[in-house]
Amino acid sequence: MSRKSWSPRSLAAQAMGTIDPVTKAVVPPIHVATTYIRDEDNGYATGFIYGRPDNATTHEAEGLLAMLEEAKAGALLFGSGSAAATAVFQALSPGDHVVVSKVMYWALRNWLMTEARRWGLAVEFVETDDLKAVKAAVRPGVTKLVWIETPSNPLWTITDIAAVAEIAHKAGAKLAVDSTCASPIHTRPLTLGADIVMHSATKVLNGHSDVIAGALCAREDDEFWGRVKTVRKGQGGILGPFEAYLLMRGMRTLHVRQERQSASAMALAERLSAHPRVARVLYPGLPQHPGHDVAARQMENGFGFMLSVQVTGGEAAAIGTAAHVELYKRATSLGGVESLIEHRASIEGAGSPCPTDLLRLSTGIEDVDDLYDDLDQALKAGHA
């Protein structure tokens, strides 16, 4: 059986099957050097010149992620998800028009509303799950980038990637997809027509809440991708070797973690839908979810690990519920092996599209009955 026939699951589990040539170790080493010896002809036959644009450990992790995303042009790792996302917009030119999802990661939304406009970008927010709204917003020859997040955080709306890719490309624009909450286990946007896929690798790709990292993967090594690479090189945004090593470790168990987490999220969504103190469950795996049919078409191996619940009793009951959890942890972020709960509206502040009665749940790998029982008692206590 040749390595070429190995499945992505097997390649990820063995870190692409790499064996250290010196020690024969099954775990790739950490390369921390910042500078490299020139050859006698003053060149660099190895391709490594300086640590800011290149690091062998970082390249190992990029290769694994590119394989998972089926990214023909490769992947780039950054010091954070925000650094990766903003690099795409910084590769544009002043005056360029961009269309972005109205519901999206709040830090990027704030950056687009402030700093991106200072850069001279014309930013238009739309409900990208509404294809008519996307068509109306995209301007042929003027719009240079469409940015969507699906499932969108924290309302978990679903955008049809293939349909939006067709709209964007017909207008001469690129399509970038924030797929943080899907992961390549559930969705591979590049195979659906997207040009770039972005991840906050801090989240489920790493899966252990101990690394801040971001990633971009590209379908084609074209001029725009070249500008993105120039942005990372020039601004020094590369992920450090130790963080890349930890990220590689995390991605080796991505398949098994996501299977457990998405199965538990589905079970929780179904059970919470019948809870008397839950007004609504937002999860694309539920048949009553408005985006379920699209999600079923473009997602596989489940519907992801994230869901939100809107509780009866409004904001006070939601905050009270979060205050009474014992197994869940009240904390920002998502995708780790531990389950987290957060009242998003109070975190995001004024202008948040998040309902005040909503709690965001990141499902970990704990026993699903324990997770449900914890939410059950917290919901009862929060409504008391």
Taking only the tens of pLDDT, the chain with its 384 residues reads 456 678 889 988 888 888 888 889 888 889 999 999 998 899 888 888 888 998 999 999 999 999 999 999 999 999 999 999 999 999 999 999 999 999 999 899 999 999 998 889 999 999 999 999 999 999 999 999 999 999 999 999 999 999 999 999 999 999 999 999 999 999 999 999 999 999 999 999 999 999 999 999 999 999 999 999 999 999 999 999 999 999 999 999 999 999 999 999 999 999 999 999 999 999 999 999 999 999 999 999 999 999 999 999 999 999 999 999 999 999 999 999 999 999 999 988 887 889 999 999 999 999 999 999 999 999 999 987
Q: Which CATH architecture has domain 3-251?
A: 3-Layer(aba) Sandwich (3.40)
Can you give the pLDDT at residue 347?
Answer: 87
Which listed residue (52, 139, 271, 380) is catalytic? 52
Domain with CATH 3.40.640.10 in the chain: 3-251
Please pick, among 144, 203, 219, 252, the residue that the annotation labels catalytic. 203
Six-digit token pair at 160? 């049809």
Fold of 255-382: Aspartate Aminotransferase, domain 1 (3.90.1150)
Q: Provide the pLDDT for residue 2.
A: 57
Q: Is 222 a catalytic residue?
A: no
Active site includes 178? Answer: yes
- Cα 87 to chain centroid distance, Å, stands at 15
Q: Distance (Å, rounded) from C-alpha 100 to C-alpha 110?
A: 12
The residue from 102, 105, 188, 229 that is catalytic is 105
Catalytic residue among 178, 195, 357, 374: 178
203 is catalytic: yes
Concerning whether 52 is annotated as a catalytic residue, the answer is: yes
Q: Are 199 and 205 in contact (CB under 8 A)?
A: yes
Max Cα-Cα span within the chain: 77
